[in-house]
Structures are given as C-alpha cells and as structure tokens.
Amino acid sequence: MKIRVTMWNEYRHEKKEENVAAVYPEGIHGAIADYLAADSECEVRTATLDEPEHGLTDEILDNTDVLIWWGHIAHSEVRDEIVEKLHKRVLCGMGLLVLHSGHHSKIFKRLMGTTCNLKWREIGEKERLWVIEPNHPIAEGIEEYVELEHEEMYGERFDIPAPDALVFAGWFQGGEVFRSGCCFNRGYGKVFYFQPGHETYPTYHNQVILKIIKNAVRWAKPVKIVPILACSNPKSLEKLT
C-alpha cells in the first residue's frame, strides 16, 4: 500500500515576497510534493493555511499517513481546534515531519511541551549537516555530511525534550551547532524535526535534503493507527481467587 502524504505549507512568503517566489514558484509545498510524488511508494497531496480548515479536513486526515509541516510567519493563524485534531491524530499513529521554522508551530510545541526556542541568525552562512546515526533509516544512503552553501543559522540551545534519536547535527560557519534531525515517539505516532529549509534558499531543491525527507516519510509511516486513545478496565485473563 502507498504511503499517503499530506504536504502542508502556510504558503505566505511565496505569495508576498518575489525573492521567495523565484526560488519556489510552486511554493515550498509544491517543491517537496513534486519530489515525493515521483516515488511510486508515495501518494501525495498538498494543503495550505488559507484553504477551508487549512486544507486539513477530517476526510483528508483520514487519508493521511504522514503529514509534513512548513510554517513561519502565520503560526498564530492556525486554528486551535485544528491543532487539537492534529495532536490527537499523532497520538493515534499519524506520522509528522516538522520542517525548519515549524519549530515554533503550535502542533510541534504542543507535542514537545517546551518553548522550542533556539538561537537564529539570517546571514546565509554555510551549514555542514553531519550524520550522527548512519544506521538510522532516515540516514539511509546519505554520506557522512551534507554541505549547504547558504542556510539560516539555528543554534543551541534548542529548547526541546531530549530526542528519542538524534540523526543529524548541524554545524554553522559562524560557530554554532544544532540538533538538526530529531526523532520523537509520541503515543503511537512518530515525529521528526528537520532544521534545513529557510524560504529564501533553494534547500528543498537539494537532492540530498529531499532524500532525507523521503527517508523520514518512510520512517514515520504508521505501523498501526488506532481510532481513539482511551483507558480500559478489562476482566482478568486468568481466574483470580
């Protein structure tokens, strides 16, 4: 069965800023969705903030195995009831990939329970992204490191709980380091945070970055989705005297 992916983007920078539209004429969501759609294993749709229900209706979420999230300037416009719904979906098994500035999205902060604050600097310095766990499925086929000529610096401390697995660490030319690829288990769901992807740079045209995202989609695919999470009060399996 194919992995049903929904690529969500707030899709504001691309509409407002010519320099971003020049890098992503089809939107950030379009660039990532096009790459994933070329894989016969994936069935991809896109959703954006300004669609009704932010494009995340129950019907769409019922048909989503993995949700990818890119947001930045409009986190506060994401409606709380939709965030509530996504949170429940993740706990019930839906996979979630949170990209770059999505570290401050409501859904990511809710899942982490911390501020998710970090250091940042936007001067287009070089990033060297190191593979920390070469044997992890998300690092499959990736060399020892990837160099991105220009990225926004994200630096420690990143206020997140200790990840269940740290797959990538970023080093920036200015000297900072960052936990750039973090895996978390939340309920039945798997969550991956991935740092590269500032909107003014062609990061999501980089084939290695795209491959990492595809690997992460495969990793986050649910093994089992449960309809609800509830306590139960079962009778004993053995006869108790």
| Stretch binding Zn ion (CB under 5 A), from 12-20, 22-30, 144-152, 162-170 | 144-152
Does residue 101 touch Zn ion according to CB under 5 A? Answer: yes
Q: Nearer Cβ to Zn ion, position 64 or 101?
A: 101
Is residue 127 near Zn ion by the rule CB under 5 A?
A: no
Structure tokens at 56: 């995340």
Intra-chain end-to-end CA distance of the chain, in Å: 47
- The reply to whether 103 sits near Zn ion by the rule CB under 5 A is no
Pair 7, 32: CB distance under 8 Å: yes
Burial 24-41 (b: 16+ CB within 10 A, else e): beebbbbbbbebbeeeee
| Residue 14 binds to Zn ion (criterion: CB under 5 A) | no
Q: CB of 159: closest distance to Zn ion in angstroms?
A: 17
Find the shortest distance in angstroms from Cβ 149 to Zn ion: 16
CA angle 192, 87, 199 (to 5 degrees): 50
Query: What is the helix (H) or strand (E) element at residue 83, kind and residue range?
Result: helix 80-91
Task: Retrieve residue 24's tokens.
Answer: 């992503």
Q: Of 73 and 226, which CB lies nearer to Zn ion in the complex structure? A: 73
CA 13 to chain centre: 18
Query: How near is the Cβ of 165 to Zn ion at its closest, in Å?
Result: 24
198 binds Zn ion (CB under 5 A): yes
What does the alpha-carbon distance between residue 231 and residue 223 come to, in Å, rounded to a whole number? Answer: 21
Q: Are 98 and 160 in contact (CB under 8 A)?
A: no
In the complex with Zn ion, the residue whose CB is nearer, 137 or 202, is 202
Chosen residue from 152, 172, 182, 184 binding Zn ion by CB under 5 A = 152
Which one of the spans 9-17, 152-160, 181-189, 209-217 is the region binding Zn ion (CB under 5 A)?
152-160
Contact window for Zn ion (CB under 5 A) among 57-65, 81-89, 93-101, 204-212: 93-101
**Beta carbon nearer to Zn ion, 158 or 219:** 158
Stretch that binds Zn ion, among 30-38, 85-93, 103-111, 195-203 (CB under 5 A): 195-203
Altogether, the residues listed in the chain come to a count of 241
Instruction: Using alpha carbons, select from 146, 135, 140 the residue that is nearest to residue 218.
Output: 140
> How many chain residues bind Zn ion (CB under 5 A)?
3
Integer Cα distance of 214 and 208 in angstroms: 10
Nearest CB to Zn ion, comparing residues 3 and 213:
213
What residue ranges bind Zn ion (CB under 5 A)?
Answer: 101, 152, 198
